[in-house]
Amino acid sequence: MLSHQHLACFLMALAARWIDGVLAFSQTPSQQKMALQLDRSAPSDVKPVKRVCIVGAGIAGLSLAHALTNSPSLMEGISIPEGDLEVSIFDSRKSLDYTAGAGVQLNGGMACLGKINPDLQRAVIEGAIPISYIRGRHKSWSSKGDVDKLWDYSVEELIRSDERARQELLDDEGKALWYGIMRGALQEILLEKLPRSVQVSFDKTVTGISAPNNQIADGGAYCKFLDGSLEGPFDLIVGCDGIKSALKEYVDRENISEDPSKREGSAAALYSGIRIKYAVQENGGVENALPQPLQLCFADGGYALTGIYGNGKHRPPSRCFFVTSLDENYNGPFKRRIGNAVPEQQQTTSNVDSEEVLENADWSQNVRRPKAETREKMLQQIKIYGVSDSTAVSTVENADRFFELGVYFHNPINLSGWSKEVPSTGGSFTVLCGDAAHAMPPFLGQGANQAIQDAWSLATRLYEYNSKVGRAQLDKVSNDDEECERPSLKKELRLYQKTRFFPTASITVKATIIGYLETGGRNGFYAKFRDVFFKLLDFAGVPKRVLLDSSIPKV
């Protein structure tokens, strides 16, 4: 019998076509007007953004550093008064571990890497694997076979079917910009290609944002770190520190909690009640650069994804297997009452969370599970759920490492926004980028892509602001000149949020619905209903449109 949760998922899926329209009007007319109106309170001697602190050396932070210091298209013809941008990156990890995390898809993000720097895009492509097909399969409900086809989407044909996609997702040779690469390998390439002028410091956990203790001529904000050090001054501090973002908490509360697992306000991540286990086989058994398919297999109680991902230019590709299912002690994001919890002896897949969901929520942390224990659990899930992917068992049996995480996301609607002026600093700001701004479930494969798009969009706004400051200083605009638009960093940061809010909020809502719809419950009837429903959606062309629209960059 269809549960309340599954019925809700069904109704939410039917309503998905209206989501974009609802989100488009999520800001009131007065809020939209306020975001676009000229800020005439800025003094005539406003200063450019020269000193940028990036908190987090993940995909968002490293991409932003490239966009600010390594982008010919932005730097050409724009002279920043009094010198170049100074960019410093601080990350809480001890070091970058290229083996941490699993594979990611790059499409709109890959296109934006080309906007940042074509040479950087080329380096990432050389370390990645082209994705040729996206295939959907489901457990066969007849005795004729083990698996039935839901869809086969040729990536190149998918892109060529849409004019916007053709413009953004085909390279100069007409090849699809749709690749798979291991998260650690991507970060490694981005780090290695950074200009030498960019300072990168690890083992630096932010604990506070403050103004200077004494009067400094050019003002600026400072970052406090767990080791007692103080860095600054900075004109802009960018939070690229993931789903447990300290900077998001600061923007919302003007305070940073000592314990990252106890963030407050909008920085408190929501646990979806969906769990993912994944296995990584270092040598995937294929040649570099050969196009490979991604295959989803919908089973009875969960679904699986298998794919080959590039591991950098000089390493063999890795094979990843993901199995996604519901936490047995949660109904969606809501924990069951104690009396309704699944007894431990009945938890056949050990698919439950702890009292506090604290494990690696942001995909980048290196929280591994014991090989033997997790291998056995994953093989058990494959058998119980009826996952019919032919490579699943061999990948798990030969995996070199295992990870497990709970799927988290942020509520896309919050009143604090993505930026905040730091008091008593002479106009320094904090702003959010990537998962820190809009952590989303991974079910459309867009987390990394949206982070890179954020980086490009934010860098564009900062260069625009600095250009306006240069022109204003050159023209000696006075405070009394009401006809001239005075440069305003606050306004540029609002425009950045306005540009990126709708695409990311839309993806967050859709990915959440898709996650619950795809995962389902282990009762047979629901899985059959889901498979039929997906076939109807495919007949109407809905999955193609959702997948393609999410992949086209909107910057």
Distance CA 182, CA 185 (A): 5
Question: What is the pLDDT at residue 33?
Answer: 41
- Between 201 and 84, residue with greater pLDDT: 201
**Distance between the two ends of the chain, CA-based, in angstroms?**
44
Using a cut of 0.85, tell me whether the model's pTM lies above it: yes
Report how many domains make up the chain: 1
Distance (Å, whole) CA 294 – CA 320: 10
Burial class for 35, CB neighbours closer than 10 Å (0-12, 13-18, 19+) = middle
The domain spanning residue 268 has which CATH number? 3.50.50.60
Q: Which residue has the tokens 């809020």?
A: 31
Residue 268 has pLDDT above 50, yes or no: yes
What pLDDT sits at residue 293? 93
- Rounded to 5 degrees, φ, ψ at 153 are -105, 115
Range in 59-68, 113-122, 276-285, 535-544 with the lowest mean pLDDT: 276-285
HEC assignment per residue over 371-421: HHHHHHHHHHHHHHHCCCCCCHHHHHHCCCEEEEEEEEECCCCCCCCCEEE
The tokens for 327 are: 């936490």
Tokens read off for 429: 């700001």
Q: Which two tokens stand for residue 424?
A: 């008593």
Residue 474 is part of which domain span? 4-551
Do 107 and 177 meet the contact criterion of CB atoms below 8 Å apart?
A: yes
What pLDDT is attached to residue 527? 85
Quote the mean pLDDT of the chain.
Answer: 82
For residue 484, what pLDDT is reported? 57
pLDDT at 490 over 80: yes
| Beta strands in 266-400, from DSSP E residues, in sequence order | 270-281, 292-298, 302-309, 318-326, 330-331, 334-335
What local confidence, expressed as pLDDT, does residue 316 receive? 92
Q: Encoding tokens for residue 344?
A: 């431990």
